[in-house]
Structure 1
Amino acid sequence: MPLNYHHLRYFWAVAHDGNLTRTAQRLNLSQSALSVQIKQLEERLGHALFERRGRQLHLTEAGRVALDHADAIFSAGQELVATLTETVRTRKALRVGALATLSRNFQIGFLRPILSRMDVEVILRSGSPTELMEGLGTLNLDLVLMNRPPPDDNLTPYETHQIAEQAVSIVGTPARLDPDRPIKELLGDQPFILPTTDSSVRTAFDAMASRMSVRPQVAAEVDDMAMMRLMAREDIGLALVAPIVVKDELASGRLVEAKEHPRIRETFYAITLRRRFPNPLVQDLLSRNSDPAAFS
């Protein structure tokens, strides 16, 4: 039996409104009539498209897939009416969340294989770990980028993909940093711009300083890589960062890197949710980023 596109349009309207009563009023239909139309679509597709949580309607995983297709279908219809040509291709959506403090250079490097595709629209959101995990759990995000693994939650089927691991360096302006000086000397007489204490990189740095019996001067504790990069450029102190964060400054000579490395590594993760209907773009992107050298 062919798909009834009237049913699909009603579902599309409710999915975007998030409220059955409001959509029924807007479409000048009774709420019961609208419910029947959506129920018939669910029976045709063989899957529930919504689940009710209190007074709110939330898309199921099948509902999210159906909405992606409905968006493409009705967008194509609008393009047909507007252009009467076949030159515009339907674009697929990839919803990516990234930790607000994550390096922008890293994000661009990871997404680069797909950003140039004319058939893909990348929707990028930033947020806290809690916000990102909630977005993944409600299927509003297909993929989350973080520099820490998600909390161990046996109730949520997260899949954690380690996509890159990079050595952390000590960087600073040429006026402040002599690249040939040993780390112990730098720790003893230079102020440092460091990640906050909840970072695994900071924990490793503090342990290194303790082993050397040195108590470094902390100029700033920063949880935002963009701010750390700016402070290093402004010569506030030496920064403990992965080179990818400051790759443009290192290339231009605005910042230099200590030759002795602190032997600390930062790991980057892509986190997905185990889904019955995964977004095929996610697997494509993960496979293209399987080589850590892609981020250098």
Structure 2
Amino acid sequence: MQLQWLNYHHLLYFWMVAREGSIAAAGRELLVAEPTISGQVKELERFFGEKLFVRSGRRLVLTEMGKVVFDYAGDIFSLGRQMLDTVRQRPTDRPLRLSVGVTDAMPKLVARRLLAPAMHGPPRVELTCHEDTLDKLLVDLSTFRLDLVLSDAPVGGGVKLKSHSHLLGESGVSFFAAPALARRLQGKFPASIADADLLLPTEETALRRALDQWFRSRSLRPRVVASIEDSALLKTFGQAGLGVFPAPTVVEKEVCRQYQVKMVGRTSEVRERFYAVTVDRKLRHPAVVAICDGAKGAFHVAPAATPPR
């Protein structure tokens, strides 16, 4: 019996086109010219003797057989990643590579705390961190450029990527201000910030939506003077005295120390959650396992309170 060998380059190009919805989008992700991708997909169709796509307007839509091949391709590339993870766990003089994506809205002090267990080995780890939006990081995760994405929100159901969001922990929210501003806001919290200038994350973040709902429930109408995507930049604005800003209570001490600010008040009614997003449900990379295991003891949170006068 003659063996038939599947060309996995053809399969990868097909899988990317199916996931991205067009040859042009797949080309941008793979950094490959469109004619090359188109030719590889046609070669795969000839190999199978089946049409895998039909055109619908400007988009390519999977045929029924295309859907079957797409599902198998996802499993094949997932197994390939598991194989790489297994090989990397073999004893070696080289450090274990760990590539992590951190979303813009993810508090960097929380990310540092979550990543610490991986850095304290064994095994010895060489860490690479990338910061971007969740959508862009998920693309790199799906093509195995990243081992893990740290996010303040789980992956939504509408995302095509086969992924799993592992809840690492949650925290209440504290509010901070530069010392001079904090002194002026001393009083019963949260009424003390009712007329304050606020620095908040942007509206598409989970924390901003939760805060807006909490303000409404408390009949608070603070002035939002800036919406800032990057969590570190948000704290830098607060450090400069430009307004009151929120951060997870779990890193309250670190925020006060690093940015020389004072805590104005805290609430447990607003919860910020943190997730590890991976391709596979079962965690195999030893550094990723260490991060998830270490998170279990990293979220001891103080009860809601107003700071002493």
Tell whether the 8 Å contact from 2:150 to 2:277 is kept in structure 1 after alignment.
yes
Amino acid at match of 1:95: S
Change in 2 beyond 3 A, CA 1:65/1:263: closer
* Secondary structure in structure 2 of the residue aligned to 1:265: strand
What 5-or-longer segments of structure 2 have no aligned partner?
A: 15-35, 41-72, 303-309
Cα deviation, 1:178-200, whole Å, max 9, x if unaligned, reads 46412354333321111222223
Tell whether the 8 Å contact from 2:137 to 2:149 is kept in structure 1 after alignment.
yes
TM-score (norm 1): 0.67
Amino acid at match of 1:174: P
Change in 2 beyond 3 A, CA 1:290/1:245: closer
Q: Which residue of 1 aligns with 2:228?
A: 222
Deviation for aligned residue 1:259:
3.7
Q: Which residue of 2 aligns with 1:168?
A: 173
Q: CA RMSD in A?
A: 3.6
Amino acid at match of 1:218: V
* Secondary structure in structure 1 of the residue aligned to 2:194: helix
Q: Which residue of 1 aligns with 2:13?
A: 53
* Secondary structure in structure 2 of the residue aligned to 1:124: strand
Change in 2 beyond 3 A, CA 1:124/1:181: same
Q: Which residue of 1 aligns with 2:96?
A: 92
Comparing 97-106 with 172-181, which one deviates more in the overlay?
172-181
Tell whether the 8 Å contact from 2:177 to 2:241 is kept in structure 1 after alignment.
yes
Cα distance between partner residues in 2 of 1:102 and 1:263: 19
Comparing 134-143 with 286-295, which one deviates more in the overlay?
286-295
Q: Which residue of 2 aligns with 1:194?
A: 200
Tell whether the 8 Å contact from 2:195 to 2:221 is kept in structure 1 after alignment.
no
Comparing 260-269 with 164-173, which one deviates more in the overlay?
260-269
Cα distance between partner residues in 2 of 1:53 and 1:203: 38
Structure 1 residues 239-278: aligned runs within 5 Å: 239-243=245-249, 247-251=253-257, 254-259=260-265, 261=267, 263-274=269-280, 278=284
Structure 1 residues 15-94: aligned runs within 5 Å: 50=9, 51-53=11-13, 55=36, 60-64=77-81, 89-94=93-98
Deviation for aligned residue 1:271:
0.9
Amino acid at match of 2:213: A
Deviation for aligned residue 1:173:
1.6
Q: Which residue of 1 aligns with 2:285?
A: 279
Tell whether the 8 Å contact from 2:239 to 2:261 is kept in structure 1 after alignment.
yes
Q: Which residue of 2 aligns with 1:113?
A: 117
Of 174, 177, 182 in structure 1, the residue corresponding to residue 182 of structure 2 is 177
Q: Which residue of 1 aligns with 2:307?
A: none
* Secondary structure in structure 2 of the residue aligned to 1:290: helix
Cα distance between partner residues in 2 of 1:91 and 1:48: 32
TM-score (norm 2): 0.65
Tell whether the 8 Å contact from 2:103 to 2:134 is kept in structure 1 after alignment.
yes
Change in 2 beyond 3 A, CA 1:217/1:259: closer
Deviation for aligned residue 1:217:
1.2
Comparing 110-119 with 181-190, which one deviates more in the overlay?
181-190
Does residue 289 in structure 1 map to residue 295 in structure 2? yes
* Secondary structure in structure 1 of the residue aligned to 2:140: helix
Cα distance between partner residues in 2 of 1:276 and 1:235: 45
Deviation for aligned residue 1:254:
2.3
Deviation for aligned residue 1:67:
6.0
Cα distance between partner residues in 1 of 2:110 and 2:187: 28
